[in-house]
Amino acid sequence: MATDAHRAVEAVWRIESPRLIAGLTRMVRDVGVAEELAQDALVAALETWPRSGVPDNPGAWLMATAKHRAIDALRRGERPARRQRALALDLERERRDRPADDLEARLDDPIGDDLLGLVFMTCHPVLGQEARIALTLRLVGGLTTAEIARAFLVAEPTVGQRISRAKRTLAEARVPFEVPPRDQLGARLASVLEVVYLVFNEGYAATAGDDLLRPALCEDALRLGRVLAGLLPGEAEVHGLVALMEIQASRTRARTGPDGAPVLLADQDRARWDRVLIHRGLEALGRADAAGGAYGPYALQAAIAACHAVAPSVEETDWLRIAALYDALAQVAGSPVVKLNRAVAVGMAYGPQAGLDHVDGLRDEPALARYHLLPSVRGDLLARLGRTAEARAEFAHAAALTRNARERAFLLERAGG
């Protein structure tokens, strides 16, 4: 019974902790304190449920427990050493002007607004990229520090310190718990979408380690993206990002062989692509289109992914449209990596020599100096031109640059050709 109760607590915590922390953060205005209060509710569940049984609505039980502990703590003026003195004074002023029960009412606002506020807080630009990713996965994604460390192949104490510093930085910078006003939403939303897509990409093409894919990270990113789409239904780029992730995730089963080695797009068995995810992605792209305005970078990448998703084969893919979409993408997000992908599309649409010309124009880009896909793409184009020895040298160079063991073995095999 106790074991069953503990499992139930863990399962409910994974689902409910973002809602708990979001509601509490709105109240106490300190995400670190909010997480502590939510953890208090978790401890209470671990102590109570093995004796009394799992309640019919465990999420509501946790929320009610966390609310009451937060209200009691603030009314008693607890945690003064944790940046709570100013908060206590503020709440005391509010209690003089507002009914006592209003503290509970403040916790009963629509949870969607709370969760959205938490997302914007954990992805605030005042934090560095690594800190934003770790804090978002911890507080919004519900992952433990150990799970985040395993996912990114980082030592657990390092992730713990990263999260602690991030919470301290938010408190010291007095980052507000709010959805940004409309005139600031675009810039702030870009930071949120960047974090979600970085998480997805680390799962879709791991930068290091022994595995090419880490599907759990893809699933976490998709869950975050779907939550955002539900909370911001009028934002085209949110739907564009969801569409992009859904369609890319649809290829997961076909991207590796039985031994875990990578399988190139041209060699993938398209019957293994997940048609449900493709359908979802196309629907999300339709919602991005319905939201109006010009496509942003995520919607443009989703449109490119859709061209692949609906094509029966590589040969029947609309490469001219893909090249044109990359031209548009280069105008709004002209990073060297986008230009490299555009070169691949040009090589498919207009022939390998045209693609090689574009790639050679990128060889002096500092950002691509140690990017293994530059020599890998160049090697592929050279192979298509029949320049085998040069192609093998490029694949060997690419193998020396990658930190992923699966990719390295694959590239070395091509280099040995």
pLDDT tens-digit readout, 295-313: 999 999 999 999 999 999 9
Note the pLDDT of residue 209. 64
67: pLDDT strictly greater than 90 = no
Task: Pinpoint the alpha helices (H) of 53-123.
Answer: 58-75, 85-97, 102-106, 111-122
Q: Among 161, 103, 101, which residue's Cα sits nearest to residue 130?
A: 161
Name the packing angle between helices 336-350 and 319-332 (round to 10°): 160
Average confidence (pLDDT) over 157-183? 91
* The residue type at 232: L
Cα distances from 196 to residues 87, 125, 223, 255, in angstroms, run 31, 14, 9, 21
> Do 342 and 323 meet the contact criterion of CB atoms below 8 Å apart?
yes
* The residue type at 257: G
21 compared with 217, residue with greater pLDDT: 21
Separation CA 284–CA 289 (nearest Å): 9
Structure tokens at 329: 């993408």
Q: What band does 186 get if pLDDT is binned at 50, 70 and 90?
A: confident
User: Coil, strand or helix: which one is 313?
Assistant: coil
How confident is the model over 26-50, as pLDDT tens digits? 878 888 888 888 888 888 888 888 8
94: pLDDT strictly greater than 50 = no
**Is residue 386 left, alpha or beta, with left meaning phi > 0 and alpha meaning psi from -120 to 50?**
left
Structure tokens at 139: 């507080």
> Do 266 and 327 meet the contact criterion of CB atoms below 8 Å apart?
no
The region of weakest confidence among 90-99, 142-151, 247-256, 404-413 is 90-99
> Do 131 and 166 meet the contact criterion of CB atoms below 8 Å apart?
yes
Q: Among 253, 246, 268, 244, which residue's Cα sits nearest to residue 212?
A: 253
12: pLDDT strictly greater than 80 = no
> Do 404 and 209 meet the contact criterion of CB atoms below 8 Å apart?
yes
Average confidence (pLDDT) over 343-369? 94
Q: Among 239, 345, 246, which residue's Cα sits nearest to residue 299?
A: 239
The region of weakest confidence among 102-116, 128-142, 160-174, 228-242 is 102-116
- Percentage of residues in the chain having pLDDT higher than 90: 46
Separation CA 181–CA 116 (nearest Å): 13
Separation CA 237–CA 226 (nearest Å): 12
- Percentage of residues in the chain having pLDDT higher than 70: 87
224 compared with 360, residue with greater pLDDT: 360
Within 13 Å of residue 90, how many CA atoms lie on the same side as its CB? 10
224: pLDDT strictly greater than 70 = yes
Note the pLDDT of residue 207. 64
Collect all residues with Cβ–Cβ distance below 8 Å to 410 and sequence separation of at least 6: 261, 262
288: pLDDT strictly greater than 70 = yes
Q: What rounded mean pLDDT belongs to the chain?
A: 85
Note the pLDDT of residue 179. 84
* The residue type at 256: T
91: pLDDT strictly greater than 60 = no
Separation CA 383–CA 389 (nearest Å): 9
**pTM attached to this predicted model:** 0.76
Separation CA 346–CA 338 (nearest Å): 12
Average confidence (pLDDT) over 89-108? 42
How confident is the model over 329-352, as pLDDT tens digits? 999 987 899 999 999 999 999 999
- Displacement of CA 264 from its chain's centroid (Å): 24
Cα distances from 151 to residues 138, 179, 200, 295, in angstroms, run 12, 29, 11, 32
Collect all residues with Cβ–Cβ distance below 8 Å to 353 and sequence separation of at least 6: 381, 385
* The residue type at 286: G
Q: Among 411, 391, 392, which residue's Cα sits nearest to residue 401?
A: 411
Q: What band does 176 get if pLDDT is binned at 50, 70 and 90?
A: confident
Note the pLDDT of residue 386. 96
Average confidence (pLDDT) over 374-378? 96
The region of weakest confidence among 28-42, 87-101, 132-146, 168-182 is 87-101
Separation CA 152–CA 349 (nearest Å): 36
> Do 373 and 385 meet the contact criterion of CB atoms below 8 Å apart?
no
Collect all residues with Cβ–Cβ distance below 8 Å to 253 and sequence separation of at least 6: 272, 273, 274
User: Coil, strand or helix: which one is 256?
Assistant: strand
348 compared with 211, residue with greater pLDDT: 348
Beta strands in 129-255 (DSSP E): 208-209
User: Coil, strand or helix: which one is 403?
Assistant: strand
